[in-house]
Amino acid sequence: MLQHSSSCIEAPNMSSAVKEVTVKLPRSHDRPEEPWYRYLSIDVIWYVLGYTVFHPFVSWVVVLCLRAQYTPYGNPEMRIAIAWSILMSAIGIFGIISDRIAFGSPREVDLAEEVIVITGGVDGLGGLLAETYGMRSANVAVLDVKTMDQDEAEEKGVVYYQCDVSDAKQVEAAAAKIVEDLGVPTILINNAGIVHKKSILDTTAEEVEQTFRVNTLSHFHTLRTFLPHMLREGRGTIVTVSSVLGHLGAANLSAYTASKAALLALHHSLRAELAQIPEAKEIKTILVTPGQMSTQMFADVNPPSNFFGPTATPADLGKSIIKLIEKGESGEVAIPLYSHWIGFFFVLPVGIQQLIRRWSGLDTAVAVSRKLAEKN
């Protein structure tokens, strides 16, 4: 069980000077030996196709190459190349227009003028985001129940506040200190989360309540606390870290998946409410629905298929989140690839859905890991 602090610890003032951060790059012999095909996945193939066959610019380059060879416009290969280029360009333009209709114009983001609040920012995805922004001398406040000493916080370039985000009073106290130490928060990354890998019958009422308090209710506390500051500033970005399991559910993860499913509805409700507030025009929202991540929380769960369902790394997610934040855009981050297209799963006949669940091993992954743990 997690130990929750009863108060927020005052953080020291951070220097604005750029700090030298030592980086230890992984050596080749530090990495486990894996056959080459272990690194091949549908995500890698899709990524390559997206920058080649399905890229409008590359498609038109093929047309230009054919013309350079004096290929007549009437030839079949030229007609196919032009038609494909027009189709790829049309899809790209449609995507831009669709995003603009859905999310509006991007806001201007200057890290020197932003104050970033990250919950659960000691390790995992939150820790990576905090450290990345800290190395860039951004104003970063980390809220977490896990401890971080002052030297470690200064080395990472962040200001640390020991705070249980499931407690509304502690969040309010931390917010007051953040405003005093760093300024008005304008970027909120709701990342804190816990998991109990148990069946519904084995999970206690206290564990269910704790899961919802940390994974779900904490978002309400931080939104009620930090959103008014963003409205007064007339700008902001809110990142909601949910999970693809919020769509799917999974055996032996009932409390976790239910708490993450609630975040999906919360995100859409938040967007709908912000759309009705004139002062919220420049407040952007980002929904993150990752698949299984290579973090300590799910370290004992092996992905059923490394090709179709590879494990997402915090670096992959962090890169996409940071890109949207700094472009000042709203949007969604869904990694691996199946997370992005999960909506089509529910269009399939229920029998096909059940066969896919059995084939994927979705509902046995945690049970298998528990049996292995008991044997060890």
For the chain, the average pLDDT equals: 88
Q: Is residue 277 located within the same domain as residue 249?
A: yes
- Express each pLDDT in 128-170 by its tens digit: 999 999 999 999 999 999 988 888 888 889 999 999 999 999 9
Q: Is residue 121 located within the same domain as residue 86?
A: no
pLDDT at residue 5, as a whole number: 44
pLDDT at residue 107, as a whole number: 96
Q: How many CB atoms lie within 10 A of CB 206?
A: 10
Q: Is residue 159 located within the same domain as residue 87?
A: no
- Domain-ending residue, one of 103, 129, 147: 103
- State the residue range of the domain holding 94: 36-103
Average pLDDT of the residues in 243-247: 95
Q: Is residue 226 located within the same domain as residue 83?
A: no
pLDDT at residue 2, as a whole number: 44
In this prediction, residue 20 has a pLDDT band, given cuts at 50, 70 and 90, of low
- Domain-ending residue, one of 47, 69, 103: 103
Whether the pLDDT of residue 43 is over 80: the answer is yes
Is 211 a domain residue?
yes
SS3 143: strand
Catalytic residue among 133, 160, 161, 256: 256
Write the DSSP assignment of 102-115 as a string of letters: HH-SPPP--GGG-E
pLDDT at residue 306, as a whole number: 80
Provide the sign of the torsion angle of the four alpha carbons 364, 367, 370, 374, taken in this order: negative
Q: Is residue 314 located within the same domain as residue 364?
A: yes
Q: Is residue 324 located within the same domain as residue 186?
A: yes
Q: Is residue 82 located within the same domain as residue 187?
A: no
Is 5 a domain residue?
no
Question: What is the spatial distance between Cα 142 and Cα 288, in angstroms, rounded to a whole number?
Answer: 19
pLDDT at residue 15, as a whole number: 47
Total of domains in the chain: 2
pLDDT at residue 363, as a whole number: 85
Is 11 a domain residue?
no
pLDDT at residue 22, as a whole number: 53
- Express each pLDDT in 328-352 by its tens digit: 999 999 999 999 999 999 999 999 9
Tokens 């506040």 sit on residue: 161
- Domain-ending residue, one of 103, 124, 154: 103
pLDDT at residue 28, as a whole number: 44
pLDDT at residue 372, as a whole number: 46
Q: Is 256 marked active-site?
A: yes
Higher confidence at residue 161 or residue 366?
161
Is 298 a domain residue?
yes
Is 14 a domain residue?
no
Contacts 24+ apart (CB under 8 A), 59-66: 59/84, 59/85, 59/88, 59/89, 60/85, 60/89
| CATH value at residue 242 | 3.40.50.720
pLDDT at residue 33, as a whole number: 64
What length is written for the chain? 376
Is 197 a domain residue?
yes
**Which residues contact residue 38 at a Cβ distance below 8 angstroms, ignoring those fewer than 6 apart?**
306
pLDDT at residue 6, as a whole number: 43
Q: Is residue 311 located within the same domain as residue 278?
A: yes
Give Dmax (Cα) for the chain: 77
In this prediction, residue 24 has a pLDDT band, given cuts at 50, 70 and 90, of low
Is 21 a domain residue?
no
Q: Is residue 357 located within the same domain as residue 291?
A: yes
In this prediction, residue 13 has a pLDDT band, given cuts at 50, 70 and 90, of low
Is 64 a domain residue?
yes
Question: What is the spatial distance between Cα 179 and Cα 188, in angstroms, rounded to a whole number?
Answer: 13
In this prediction, residue 30 has a pLDDT band, given cuts at 50, 70 and 90, of very low
Whether the pLDDT of residue 201 is over 90: the answer is yes
Average pLDDT of the residues in 18-43: 62
pLDDT at residue 219, as a whole number: 97
Q: Is residue 278 located within the same domain as residue 338?
A: yes
pLDDT at residue 158, as a whole number: 94
Name the pTM for this structure.
Answer: 0.86
Q: How many CB atoms lie within 10 A of CB 189?
A: 29
Q: Is residue 232 located within the same domain as residue 118?
A: yes
Q: Is residue 195 located within the same domain as residue 137?
A: yes
- Express each pLDDT in 78-129 by its tens digit: 999 999 999 999 999 999 999 999 999 999 999 999 999 999 999 899 999 9
